[in-house]
Each structure stands twice: as structure tokens, then as C-alpha cells.
Structure 1
Amino acid sequence: MTEEKTPVDAQEEVEQIIKTARTLGVEVDETDVAQWLAAMAGSEAMKWDLDEDAGVYGHEITLLDFDKGSLERYRRIADIVQLPDLPNVETAVSLAGSAAQGVIQLYPGDCDYFERVNIKAETQEEACRILADLMRDKALTKFEGPDYQLLEVRFGTWQEDVIKDGEPIGNGSPISWSADEIKAGQMQVARASGEAWEVEWEYGCLDPGWCKMDWVVTETERKGVVNASNMLDVTWEAPDGSITPMDGFIDPYFQEVYLEADSVPLFSKLAEHISPQALDEYVQQITGEVYKYTHKHINYGKVAKRLYNVFRLTGRYRAAALIRELFDEPAALLYQVWSLLDTIDDAGKPDSTIDRETLVQQTDDLIRDVVETCEGPMETEIVMSLIKMRDSLTGRVDLGEGWSALITNARARVEELVNEFFKAKLMGITEVVEFLEAMEETKKPGF
């Protein structure tokens, strides 16, 4: 818990935040900021809490940003993506990422879920086989329907270098299975020598590694589509009660809001095995991601989201409060536009079962959003791309192979605007500049 501030100190901090926000050209609700700072000051870094009224639980700080009004929506989507409980399988599904911060993240890009899956078995090998069956059964059960379509599953780790679809994949990389490959239970690759190799689904049992399932989901009531993913944190519970993480690491719980209160016993059991250094390790991991998104895959929208998480968990509440205010600025809406372009790309393919009219309506919404938040030549270019997308979806024109190029171009232009907005605002916050400078000093070349 941070050092307690006097009412005078707290008011001065609020006034300083408002002053800086005005300099940045960002609107701030003084009452909201004061209440949030007070709540943060009373929180603890490793404490989790249960909201009995809503039936959700999670990290105390994370719950402050969760919008309980969206709970029904996220539970409905969770029914599509989550793995089921079985006599020998315990699960705890949660909402993660920006979707779990609905109070401040008014324009989340995707619906990201995180599910703890604990498998009770005699051996780890048996647990891996159970996991393989569980994931494939889920994929086939929710393969496609009027309001969802499976996109991809990551299960397994390559034990040698391979070539797939002409692209080299290194030993140790996660295995990505397309929907059709999952249905077939196999994929075609070539070994490094060029020898053809038919890889069975069960190959993933050798080392399940990073497990993740992706769908595109239609939300009729919202007249749109959204990418919904479920990241699995899988553990094996041996007959003696010992817990072994399948990927070598039990993830901490700093970003999730768990949607089912009856999964508290599993969460509590696994939380006992989380490293005492979990917070430090989490901050180090997120700092690495900040470095990546400021150097390799430039995306200052992602930088802002990660810095917010770091600052709020490490007591730098003034900076966190300022970043928090960026997410409901009109320009931040472009981050959602950027993400939804990928979703429409996935859902708009010829073999998609997703309703075309829903995609058309969502494209119309994107056009409106761009018009309301952009200006100048960039606006014209993005809007024209979206209009061409709409014409393709309605059948007015057939873009053919030009569809992917159109999506790529529109996405690049929107990403440019997102970077421009968030970078300019972040660099006006002293703590952010200091953090990035310190990061530069500690990161080695080639990181």
C-alpha cells in the first residue's frame, strides 16, 4: 500500500493532473480522477477481491476499471470460447486486456479471454492428451455457426525446423493450426531437408506450449463482429496434489476479471503457486513489450495500454491517471477501427459463415468513426478504402486478390494516425519520458 496522503496533498495531485491534461489537450473529470486516486491509494499490489453482487473476481486494482454493465455481453461470448469443466478438468475463465477495462477503455479492439485450465491425471503425458482432446473437441463443437467462426488454434511447439506454405518456421516456435487443419486433424509441412511431412494433431502433445484459440463472433444486438480469443494457462495436477504448469510458468493475475464466482476455489489453489516475484516479473515482461512497440513493431496505442498497467501497479498513479484519460479521447476510437479492420478481413472471406449484412453495417460504422475523428487527405484515403470494402461485401464489386491489399493499406493509414496521437500525448507526460529513457539505458542492442 502506498503512503497515505493528506487531503491537501491529494487535492494538489488532482490539480497537477488537470493542469498537465490541459497542456496535453485532454479533457479530465476532476471528481472521477479524485475518486480513482483515492481507490488506488487504498489498494494493494498482490491482493485480489470478489464482487459478490456481480459474481466476478480478480486483482483489486483491475476490478476498479471493469465495467459491470458489460458483464452479460462478455459472459455470452465466453460461452463460445471457453473450455468446459469435466470431472478431471477444472477451469476459471476471465476477461483480459482492454476489454477488462471497460470503465476507461471505451473503444476496446478485441474480446480477449484468459482461462486457467487445471487437469487432474496420473501423468503429465496423460494430461497433455486430455488437453489435446479438450481443445480439438471445443474447436469442432464451435467450428462455425450463424454467429461465430473458428479462425485458428495454437497448440504445440515445433521440435525441429519446418517449412509451411513456403515460409520457414524455427524449432521452438508455437504451432498454428487453421480451422480446416483442425477439422482434418493434421497439417502438411516440409522438414528442413525438403521431405514432406504430415503432422498429426497429437504431435502437439509433445510440448503443448502456448495454447490459444481464436474466433470471429457476430454480435447482432451491436450490429457488428469482434475477434474473440481465449488464451489457456494449463496446469497438471498430479495424484499427490502437486501442480505443474504445462508451459513452465503459472501466469499472474494482474490483468484479468474472472467471470464465474464458483471458480474461486481453483483460482485460490493456483494463486498459491504464483511466484512471490510475480509483480516484478510482470513489470519486466511488460517493459519488454513497451520496448518492442517503440522499436520493432511501432504501435504507441499498445505502448499506452502497457504503460498504464505498469504505472498503476507500481504506484505511479499520477502518470497512470493521465494515460487513463487518453483512452476515451475521440482519436482513441481509431485504435478500435484499426483492430476491426482485421476482424472484417477474417469475417469477409468468401467461405465465411458470418452474416454479410452485419459486416456491411460495421463497415458503415467505421466510415462514420473515421469521418468524425480524422481530417485532411488521410481521412479521404481511409474512407475511400472503407467504401471499396463495403462495395465488395455487398457484391457491388469483386475485389478478388485486391481485398487483402485494400485492408493492409487502410490498416497502415489508421495505424499511422493512432501512433501519431498516442505518441504525442505520451511524450507530454514527464513520467513516461523518464520511463522510456531509463528503458533505453537498460535494454541491450538486439533486444
Structure 2
Amino acid sequence: MADLFDTGAGSGEPPAAAVPLAEQLRPTDLSEIIGQEHLTGPEGAIGRMVAAGRLSSLILWGPPGTGKTSIARLLAGAVGYRFVAISAVFSGVADLKKVFAEAEVHARTGQRTLLFVDEIHRFNRSQQDGFLPYVESGAVTLVGATTENPSFELNAALLSRAQVLVLHRLDEAALTTLLARAEEVEGRALPLTDDARAALVTTADGDGRFLLNQAEMLFAAGIETPLDTAALRDLIQRRLPVYDKDREGHYGLISALHKSIRGSDPQAALYYLGRMLTAGEEPLYLLRRLTRAAVEDIGLADPQALVQCMAAKDTYDFLGSPEGELAIVQACLYLATAPKSNALYTAQKEAWKSAKAHGSLSPPKHILGAPTRLMRDLGYGKGYQYDHDAPDAFSGASYWPEEMAPETYYRPTDRGFEKRLAERLAWWDEQRQRQQEGS
């Protein structure tokens, strides 16, 4: 049977025709779970727990429609635990107190309770803390389900008492198996061509529940002639990609975009840019990150990188979406294909560190302005050499505080425009050395 979200059937048995397809395909054994064999197999964490007959508290982290609820329910049955399920969306403190009190009563009779908490990340920090004494005492074995990164959304204390297991999005093979099981239950094939069938799997984006809902709609539509891909696209809705602009998916994709640019892979960078824009990300947020990449990862290896980003920002402000998004694409591709250097970024960190370490040293007097007689009498501006009057517009004078030896922060690479800068800096260093030797 398929691996699907467990909606929790009522006490009555509805007619077979009224039972949703996802409910009919609910797995009845852990071996029927699709796509999570790394956890449920003999060598997986869940498989080992079942073999030992004892569970530890778990956090099941994975995308929607991958079987978190089904796994929890089947786990309880596999080891003989009492199963209780609540949702953090609909439950409050009073509900939790009732669950814990009942679990303690059953614990005194030797009956362990598996408490499944769906959307556990929606409980606030103090509510999460409320689980701790009952988990520690063994009154409940907690199995929480979340689509969000537990390290961001759950208390450290709760995480330390539970093992985090990662569920995978269902791949093409798993989803194809799921469709075959749906056809077996219905006793007929989906009214689709082979290409349309493959397209249907793609629309699910790894979500088994969504795929079965689409299949159920197709079975109920009374279609006589198999649909091709175009006809299927007109009939069904594509599942929107999982993307929350303030959560882990958001930060993961922006990191992937930035690192693809740094790694000079324009194709991957364009893919992640497309992922974010089509999911509704704010274009100006992306432009800000592109501009950061321009100065952090390219800098003076190609000074035009920053110009491209600012031009893209102005163009998007002028045109808006979707036309202005082409300017964002141009900036992204320019950055990904530009020569790379973090010399500017490194120089800034070293210079800031040095500035904090050396405190409030005064610049040498010869480069200080002297607007008053007192300042002139103290030597301010005395001996200053105007570089434009020197040969090659270079005096070779020292501009460092007298109490501080010159330091080197900026070390240009031999890539792009920085190669020319490196040659220029080397020539100036040579001239300074000659002047010091001649003085």
C-alpha cells in the first residue's frame, strides 16, 4: 500500500466509493511504506527500533506527502504502543494536559503511549518545553512531524531528547509505483498516454498525497480517450513548489544561488534563480544578494559586476515584472561568468581587525591638514609631498601612523582586472623600496 498522510478514519465504515483513494491506499505495515527504505528497512533507524521492540522519541522531518503520519501510526502498532495523535494547529495547552494525564494512567498499567504531534514546529517555545518532563519520565514516546528544519524551529532541549530522522521527497520511481497501486485498487488504468503519465508524476513534485488526489480526479472525470500531455495540463493543476519565504527552503535556495555564482556555474545559478522567482520570491531580495556576490566573490577582478547589479536594480524598478526580471537574469549570468576574487572581502576583514587592534593612532603629521597657526607650529602638514608633482605621480611617502608598521590587507589575484592591479601595486612597492634604499 502507498505511503500517505494518515487522516484518521472515524469509527464508522463509509461505503467504499466514498473513501478517498489516498485513504484506500493507506499502508498497513511499515514494509508497505514507499520511498523511505533508508529509515524503514532492516538497517534503517526505524527498522532497528521495531526489531528491538522499543522506540525512542523521534522528530520526522520531510516534505508534505512523504508518510510522516503513516510511519508514526504503524510504528505504534509494530511495537504494541498505544497511539495518540494531535495537531499543533488545532491543539492547545488544555489538550496537551489531558493527553499527558491519560498517558500517565496507562503507564501505571504497563501500557506505553506513542504521542504523534503533527506540525510540531507550530507549538511555541514554552509549549514545546511542556513535553520535556513527560518525555523524560517515559510517560510518552514523542514522535513529532515537521516540514521545517528542526534546528530552526524546535527547542534545543527538546531536540536533545529526540532523534531527528529525515524523510526524502518521493522520487519518480516511488511515485510511479504509487500510481500503479492506485490503478490496481481502481481496477483500471489511468486515461493517459505514456508521456502524459510521466508528466502527471512530474506535477506532484515528490508529494504522494497530491499525486493520488490528481489520479482520483482523473478516475472520476469519465474520460474515454487517453489524454496527451497538453490535454492533461489543461485539466489538472500543477503542484506549486514547496517554498516559504521566511523559512529553511528560502535560505537553502538563496545559499545555492550564491554558491553556484561563486563556483562559476551559470546554468545552476539560473536554475536556482528561476526556482525562487517562480515561487514568488521578492525580486529586490534577489538583487540584494546578487549585489553582495558582486563585491564579495568578484570585487575588482571585474569592477563591472557591481555596475551590472545596480543597473539591473534600476531596470527592474523601471520595468517591473516580468520584463524587468530579464535584467536580473543578465546580472546573475554576468556574475557567474565573471573572473572570481575574494581579495576585496578578505582585505576588508583584515583591515577592520587591524583598525580595532591598533586603537586611535594618529595619522602622520605630514598628511594632516593645518588650518590654524597652532597646528602649523606643531608640524601639521610639514613636508607633505603632492603626488601629482612627483615623477609618475607617485611620491612614495608613508601614510601610516608613526607607531605602526605598514601592513598588507589587499592582495589582488592574477585573474581579470586584478591582474593589472597586482602589477601596478608591485611597481609602486618597488619604487618605495628604491626610495628607502636611496635615502
What TM-score results when the alignment is normalised by the length of structure 2? Answer: 0.26
Higher relative contact order (CA 8 A, sep 6+): 1
What TM-score results when the alignment is normalised by the length of structure 1? Answer: 0.25
Structure (1/2) with the larger helix percentage:
2
